[in-house]
Amino acid sequence: MYLPSFQLDQKTVLVTGAGRGIGRALAIGMAEAGADVLLVARTESDLQETAKQIEQLGRRAFVLTCDVTDRTQVQATVDRAYTYVDRIDVLVNNAGMNIRSKALDVTEDEWETIQQTNLKSAFLFSQEIGRRMQDTGGSILNIASVAGHVALRTGVVYATTKAALIQMTKVLALEWGPKNIRVNAIGPWYFKTPLTEPLLADPAYLQDIVDVTPLGRVGELTELVGPAVFLASDAGTYVTGQTLFVDGGMTIKGF
């Protein structure tokens, strides 16, 4: 047979930022593909809602509250995760945030907060779980952004973190490939989430987005799940170090 499995049966996935938005969609999508899911975020009530939806699918869900920017908490969270499961097959580094300040207005606190949430947390979880994956192999998926590849009008700190995350993806893929650990990234454009809804409610703002998107619309969260499952599953076992832009064609648009 030539068609590999896109299913995640018998696999365990850990998703950071799993309480809402993209993280919740990816966690539920992984469960729909057959995985048990470890859910990580700061807010327990959000995680419990995600867990409820996963358990309704007949899969196991484990709630792990954590400040993903704190190394001690990350280490304790990963240790706790391994008391629930024997191995973690897939890590999804999704936790992220943005403060849309113009470059001249960025404060040091904003710089530190965005850098630690978007970049440091991904490295900490990759390091802790990657250490254990050395013996088992696995897949790491970083949620980057088109902002790490092309220049947007605001969000210089956010863009810096996402560009660094794309490069981190490449370096970890090179270093850990011999241990059968694949490291890839997804670069979304605009998707309908609780965080983007206020922006997309402005007709002029929405039109600006649509005008630079060949498919002529923003994305639905369900459209991120397929690429993520592909990269996590046996269908993607020869793909590593890559960033898949799920952007309606935005990053290839010329004049």
Question: Catalytic site residues?
Answer: 158
Distances (CA, A) of 97 to 22, 94, 109, 187: 12, 10, 14, 14
Find where tokens 């499995």 sit.
Answer: 5
Buried b (16+ CB within 10 A) or exposed e, 160-180: bbbbbbbebbbebbeebeeee
| Whether the Cβ atoms of residue 208 and residue 152 lie closer than 8 Å to each other | no
Cα–Cα nearest to 92, from 17, 179, 21: 17
Beta-sheet pairing, 36-41 with 90-93 = unpaired
Q: CA 235 from chain center: how many Å?
A: 19
Q: Using CA of residue 50, residue 78, residue 187, residue 226, what is the dihedral sign?
A: negative
Distances (CA, A) of 226 to 26, 62, 201, 229: 9, 23, 26, 5
Name 140's bridge partners. Answer: 91, 183
